[in-house]
Structure 1
Amino acid sequence: MQPAECLSYIDSQQQQQEVGSSQWWELEAVQLTWLFDFQQNDELYAELRPWLNNQDVPEQHQPLISMLYGKWLARNARNEEAKEALTQALNGFEALYDKQHSQQTALLILNLMVELNRFERAEKFVKGLVEKQYKDEAFYREVYAELGHIAYLNKENTKHIKYRLESLHWALKTPDDQQKAVAYNNYAIALRMNGEYKKAREAFLAGLDVATQAGDEVRVNTIRLKLAELALIQNNLDKAHFWLRKVEVDHLPSTAFGEYRKLSVNMRDRIVKERESR
């Protein structure tokens, strides 16, 4: 379903519930989350505003309100206010987790630690999650992916590789080929950032195979672009040109358009310089 259809469906379901009931609030939480995910920013704020610092909001939903408000503030470059709201959300989720351990709550806590760049706390928290030995491979894939993201933000290459490899380890235990391809891609990026180009290429190619099997055209073309970039870093213009020609721009995510244009310009400039030097 399209975003508008999803939101309309939730709204119709919510209207069948008594306002303020537990079922109504569960649907409200879904609606707010989808508004954020679908980047409906104006609608998200309009829906959030009545619930900010409102004591009528059930305790278990207050952290979600704070988190989504903090993320909305961050999207609008109100960074100090965002940090305050996200910290409030983290404290709330940690209080809920102390009362009842939940994998979903654990992931929200970890996500907020990433947002707030609290690496040491996140590592300690994950150590506790590992000791619990949940029988959930997808959960641990996501846990280590979050740690990998923190390491990436902090430019800690050794930890970045370590956590991306651990996330890949867990991804390969799941039946989800799309997530396997994502994990291979992230591991390859970590290797590339550390100058381990041969291993990075092998990981990208493994991810490309899995993404192709999954029919994930967006991931396929994203990895092709990464392979072209890697070849250019290694001064292999022929191979870079080979992979760039394979990229189907219509299947790239919008966030990769700038990357594609930059690579195209760099390759053109390198080819011109090479011809001039002959």
Structure 2
Amino acid sequence: MRIALVDSGIGLLSTAAALRRVRPDADLILSMDPDHMPWGPRSVPEIVGRALAGARAVLGERPDALVVACNTASVHALQALRAELEPRIPVIGTVPAVKPAADRGAPFAIWATPATTGSPYQRDLIDRFARGVEVTPVACPGLADAVERADPVAVGEAVDRAAAHTPADVSAVVLGCTHYDLVGEAITAALGERVTLFTAADAVAAQTLRRLGAAPRPDAPRTGELRVYASGRPARLPEAALAYRAGALLTTEAAA
């Protein structure tokens, strides 16, 4: 089983780690785009173009599935990717975990990039899955960039700013950017243990296996290999990735 993941940067690590946990025997191919990141501020045609380029860069690896491990790319490029690759290669997108958070029936917040916060996409998720529940969108300027650089001071400052704009009565926060998953401990420290964080990585991993008709096998031998591409070039995991637990899980497998 060979699974490719596409993102502008290291936000894909959380989903890659989730896939490694449920299928340690699966080969993972990570396609990042350091030459053109971040994708968020780019126009929709540019985002679509970069996501397609990231997918095309790894087709030579013969992936059985492609995971769009990026909220921004899932919003704007999922249709184009599916039109080009399916049904030959199933394409799985990343959707913020609004529904499970809303199912609790209590107020919650959604932390997301400024471009996603207030977007029609996010409003539609709230309208579909959280009617009657108080939802506070919280923009997190600079947080994804700080995570990408593995800059703990900048991460702390961005998390503190977002926490200050999060109502005290929320009991859950949906992480609407895959980069944020990597600093969940810092977010919990700022919000308190009473606040539950909802991330998409495990659900995306589960959906990927469903699309492949495969079952989770966390006890399988850890024989899965790792390939890394940087804007189409074979590469190693970036140094910043090694600062995170998800990156450390994959460290010894990084390809030259």
The one of the two structures with greater contact order (alpha-carbon pairs below 8 A, sep at least 6) is 2
> What range is the shorter-chain TM-score in?
under 0.3
TM-score (norm 2): 0.23
More strand by share: 2
Please tell me whether Structure 1 or Structure 2 has the larger radius of gyration of its CA atoms: 1
- Which structure's residues are more often helix, by fraction? 1
User: TM-score with structure 1 length normalisation?
Assistant: 0.22
